[in-house]
Amino acid sequence: MPKTDTSWKPGQSGNPKGRPKGSRDTINEAFLKDLAADWRKNGALALTYAREERPAEYCRMVANLLPREAKMQLNVHSEAQRAFIKALEAVNDRQQIGRKPKVIAGVAEKIEKF
């Protein structure tokens, strides 16, 4: 049986009627443009709603925007600022659950909600 060459020639597509080059990029660009426009119009309102109505998710969002490990020095002046930092620390602690557990000696204690 003769050997047939099935390889494509340079510049030849294996699917000539497939998705046009750049079409996915066009969709991504349109989506990001629409998202940016919506954020400019409603972003501050969405943040206010999240902070007031869903504070745990708001804190989680802020924590996810931070680097995994960050060294920060804060000058905390108000009780609200201290409460916010405590909430961020609690979210961070919860995110660590399920990640590469370490075996340690200790006693389990109930965690109080913040």
pLDDT tens per residue, range 44-90 = 999 999 999 999 999 999 888 877 765 666 666 778 777 887 887 77
| Distances 4 to 7, 12, 14, 106 between C-alpha atoms, Å | 9, 17, 16, 69
Predicted confidence (pLDDT) at residue 101 exceeds the cutoff of 50 = no
Is the distance from CB of 86 to CB of 114 less than 8 angstroms? Answer: yes
Residue 91 pLDDT: 74
Higher-pLDDT residue of 78 and 4 is: 78
Residue 34 pLDDT: 94
Please state whether the predicted TM-score (pTM) of the whole model is above 0.75: no
Residue 77 pLDDT: 73
